[in-house]
Structure 1
Amino acid sequence: MSFLGLAGKTILVMGVANKRSVAWAIARTLEEEGAKVTFSVRSEKRLESLRGLLGDRTAYLCDVERTHEIDTLAAAVGRDHGTIHGIVHSIAFANYAKGLRPFHETDRADFLQATSISCFSLVEIARAFKPVLARDASVVTIGISSLLVTPENYGYMGPIKAALDSANRFLAKSFSADTAVRFNIVGAGPLKTSASAGIPGFMKSYLFAEKMTLRKRALETQEVANTAVFLLSPRSSGFNGSTLVVDAGLGLNYFDQDLIRLAMRPEEAAPGPGANT
């Protein structure tokens, strides 16, 4: 028997984009643990692009910007699979088409669309699936490792991820009235995924984050997936309304000596007051 106790459990994974997705790494690991995984993707076009990856696995269509599609998905999954033991919410979107802009220049339409897809969709999914979730089901979403940092290139997604963190806690409280369903977040450090590639200037941030980790090696997608799978399992029964940070120590290594040395080089090279020039 698997230590995680996931054998025979049915898990819905939402948000696979390609083979580098966190959602795909989670799905593969769940299958390795004996779970039955079913999928939901945003569009027919996305589904077609995933045919080779998903093979004969069941996949449904659901654009979370449309509430009725979420309701339809919940009904279809319940009809086809009965009780669901877990949901992976790996869904986020931000419109960076206009490039890097100051936060105060954020467009209302962009902010509200990103909030609807990246945050409020979790609330609507939880509500729609409540009748088909096992009493002790686990819902896991993907967040970020710190809600206090203010990376300029991440822009308005920072506040939206903070809203997701809060919504997760409120869902945990709300569902506790009559179920034992748990809601948790994996707070992931920067990852090299296709979704991240759409963030302006991401690679520079990613390489900087790699130097900030204690091990001087970037966080791996599989490490995030492993944490998500743990949270989906009965072994994580003590976690509810929580965010488990997975960042290889990045968040506590601000004063790394190597980074300080690199940052201070221009200052050290500059002539001091009164120096001959």
Structure 2
Amino acid sequence: MSLSMSLEGKRGLILGIANRHSIAYGCAKVMAELGATLCITYLNEKAKPFVEPLAEELGAELLLPCDVSVEGELESVFHEMEKRWGTVDFAVHSIAWSPLDELHGRLVDSSAEGFCKAMDISCHSFVRMAHQAQRLMPDGGTLLTMSYEGAEKVVDHYNLMGPIKAALDSCARYLASELGEQQIRVHSISPGPMPTRAASGIDHFDELMEDATSKSPLRRLGTPEEVGTLAAFLVSDMARTQTGNRIFVDAGRHLIG
């Protein structure tokens, strides 16, 4: 039997594109190439000039502002998709944020304000996205978020974001359980270190990439498009019996202590 992966007829949301190097862009690119119809968001007016040309290149039907820390913006995105499409088939959450001083400092010194804001933007926004998406997925769908190895191991300089990514992984599992009856599948994807804008805020990130390359069994890093290939598979009908997984795209780095 010959199988080929197609996303023709599927419509979905991509949150988190900052530029061409974003993991979210890698997901959008692969999904668009496989026939998906996309809604792409940009953080604010300052970010729009960087994202708008990419949305045009990908043939996105919707380009909307979405700062998840601004009340009502995420909800407005789903309202617009409902008006345009009625239903959606998938949503990709590729957002992470922390105050730099908190990210660069010790977890034990983190402030309640910084920790809570980082948790809200990086983790609870995925729960809020799921809450909005469920009503637009009457026939099921797929929700994806981006984790990291630092969620389960102590990674130098990852600090505050480690516990937050651990919470995000747990949320994905609980959402998979809660939404399964609606045939909504939920996964977290764990890319290895990649030279993205978000990752550039981590101290000594070049050293982290070198370590990942030298210790991974495949002796290389993954790419945003390789993350996109996995994401496309997970939202496709070929993965319709899979949910609740945490899947690595790190050339095997997670295997090595």
Please point out which of 175, 193, 198 is paired with 1:195.
198
Aligned alpha-carbon RMSD (Å): 1.8
The question of 1:95 aligning with 2:99 is answered yes
Equivalent residue in structure 1 for 2:183, among 177, 180, 185: 180
Match of 2:211 in 1: 208
Aligned equivalent of 2:76, options 69, 72, 86: 72
Tell me the residue number matched to 1:133. 137
CA offsets 1:162-214 (integer angstroms, 9 cap, x no match): 0000111111111124x101111111111121111111111111111110111
- Cα drift, residue 146 of structure 1: 5.2
In the TM superposition, residue 68 of structure 1 has moved relative to its aligned partner by 1.8
Structure 2 letter corresponding to 1:182: R
**What does residue 42 of structure 2 align with?**
41
Contact 1:67–1:124 (Cα < 8 Å) also in 2: no
For 2:102 and 2:150, locate their aligned partners in 1 and report how far apart those are by CA, in whole Å. 25
Could you tell me how far 1:114 is from its partner in structure 2? Answer: 0.8
Contact 1:63 1:70 in 2 (8 A): yes
State the match for 1:26 in structure 2.
27
8 Å contact 1:22–1:225 — kept in the other structure? yes
Q: 2:149 aligns with which of 145, 148, 170?
A: 145
* Offset at residue 134 of structure 1 (A): 4.3
Preserved CA contact (<8 Å) 2:93 2:145: yes
Deviation at 1:54, TM superposition (A): 2.1
Counting aligned pairs with the same residue, the percent is: 28
1:102·1:152 contact (CA, 8 Å) conserved in 2? no
Please tell me whether residue 233 in structure 1 is matched to residue 236 in structure 2.
yes
How far off is 1:147 after superposition?
2.7
CA drift of 1:32 comes to 0.9
Summarize the Cα distance change of 1:87–1:111 in structure 2 as closer, same or farther, 3 Å threshold: same
C-alpha separation in 1, matches of 2:3 and 2:100: 42
Secondary structure of the 2:140 match is strand
**CA gap 1:204/1:136 in 2 versus in 1, 3 angstroms:** same
Q: Distance in 1 between matches of 2:222 and 2:8?
A: 28
Maintained 8 Å contact 1:78/1:132: yes
Secondary structure of the residue aligned to 2:12 is: strand
The 3 A distance-change label for structure 1 pair 99 and 5 is closer
Q: 2:102, 2:163 → 1: CA distance?
A: 19
Counterpart of 1:122 in 2: which secondary structure? helix
How many residues get paired?
A: 253
| Residue type at the aligned position of 1:122 | F
Which 5+ residue runs of structure 1 have no aligned equivalent? Answer: 255-277
Structure 2 portions without partners, runs of 5+: none
Aligned mates of 2:103, 2:124 — CA distance in 1:
25
- Deviation at 1:123? 0.8
Distance 2:189 2:195 in 1: 16
Aligned equivalent of 1:85, options 89, 110, 116: 89
Secondary structure of 1:45's aligned partner: coil
Q: Using the TM superposition, give the Cα deviation of residue 142 of structure 1 relative to its aligned residue in structure 2, in angstroms.
A: 0.9
Residues 6 and 23 (structure 1), Cα distance of their counterparts in 2 relative to 1, 3 Å cut: same
Q: Which residue of 2 aligns with 1:217?
A: 220
SS in 1 for 2:14: strand
Partner of 1:54: 55
Secondary structure of the structure 1 residue equivalent to 2:104: coil
TM-score (norm 2): 0.92
Q: Which moved more, 1:104-113 or 1:43-52?
A: 43-52
**Equivalence for 2:249:** 246
